[in-house]
Structure 1
Amino acid sequence: MVLMAVSVLTLALVLYKLWQFRASSVGKHKALRRAIASWDAGKKQDAEAALKQSRSYLAPLIASGFDSTPPERLTAEAEERFATLEGGFRALDTVAQLAPLLGLFGTVLGMIEAFQSLQSAGSQVDPSLLAGGIWVALLTTAVGLAVAMPTAVILSWFEARMDAERVFADMAIQTLSAPRGQQADA
Structure 2
Amino acid sequence: MEPTQAIIADTSKSGGALDLMITGGPVVWLLIVLSIIALTIIIYKLIQFVLLGIGKTEHIERAIQLYRDGNKTEALAAVQGAKDPTSIAVATAIRGNMRPDASDEIVREEVERVASLGIYGLKSQISILDLIGSLSPLLGLLGTVMGMIQAFRAMEAAGRNVDPAILSGGIWAALLTTAAGLIVAIPVVAVSSWFERAIQHTAHRTEDAVTRIFTPDLTHRNENISNEIRAAK
- Same fold? TM cut 0.5: yes
**Given that residues 31 and 53 in structure 1 are in contact (C-alpha distance below 8 angstroms), is that contact kept between their aligned partners in structure 2?**
no
- Structure 1 segment 169-180 matched on structure 2, within 5 A: 169-180=206-217
Alpha-carbon separation, structure 2, partners of 1:174 and 1:72: 13
Alpha-carbon separation, structure 1, partners of 2:84 and 2:185: 31
Equivalence for 2:6: none
Matched letter for residue 47 of structure 1:
A
Aligned residue among 59, 63, 71 for 1:43: 71
- Structure 1 segment 1-186 matched on structure 2, within 5 A: 1-52=29-80, 54=82, 56-68=84-96, 70-180=107-217
Give identity over the alignment, percent: 36
| Moved >4 Å (runs of 4+) | 52-55
The structure whose Rg is larger is 2
Matched letter for residue 22 of structure 1:
V
1:59: how far off?
Answer: 2.8
**Given that residues 111 and 133 in structure 1 are in contact (C-alpha distance below 8 angstroms), is that contact kept between their aligned partners in structure 2?**
yes
How many corresponding residue pairs?
Answer: 182
Q: Which runs of 5+ in 2 are unaligned?
A: 1-28, 98-106, 223-233
> For the structure 1 residues 55 and 72, does the alpha-carbon distance in structure 2 shift closer, same or farther, using more than 3 Å as the test?
closer
RMSD of Structure 2 on Structure 1 (CA)? 1.9
Alpha-carbon separation, structure 2, partners of 1:77 and 1:50: 18
**Given that residues 96 and 149 in structure 1 are in contact (C-alpha distance below 8 angstroms), is that contact kept between their aligned partners in structure 2?**
yes
Matched letter for residue 143 of structure 2:
G
Alpha-carbon separation, structure 2, partners of 1:132 and 1:40: 72
1:15: how far off?
Answer: 0.7
Q: Which runs of 5+ in 1 are unaligned?
A: none
| TM-score, scaled relative to structure 1 | 0.90
1:42: how far off?
Answer: 2.6
Alpha-carbon separation, structure 2, partners of 1:49 and 1:76: 21
The one-character-per-residue Cα deviations of 1:87-146 (angstroms, maximum 9, x if unpaired) are 011111111111100000000000000001111111011111111111110010011011
Alpha-carbon separation, structure 2, partners of 1:45 and 1:77: 20
1:54: how far off?
Answer: 4.6
Alpha-carbon separation, structure 1, partners of 2:76 and 2:121: 26
Matched letter for residue 117 of structure 2:
E
> For the structure 1 residues 79 and 52, does the alpha-carbon distance in structure 2 shift closer, same or farther, using more than 3 Å as the test?
closer
SS of 2:139 mapped into structure 1: helix
The one-character-per-residue Cα deviations of 1:60-97 (angstroms, maximum 9, x if unpaired) are 33222112261222112111111111001111111111
| TM-score, scaled relative to structure 2 | 0.73
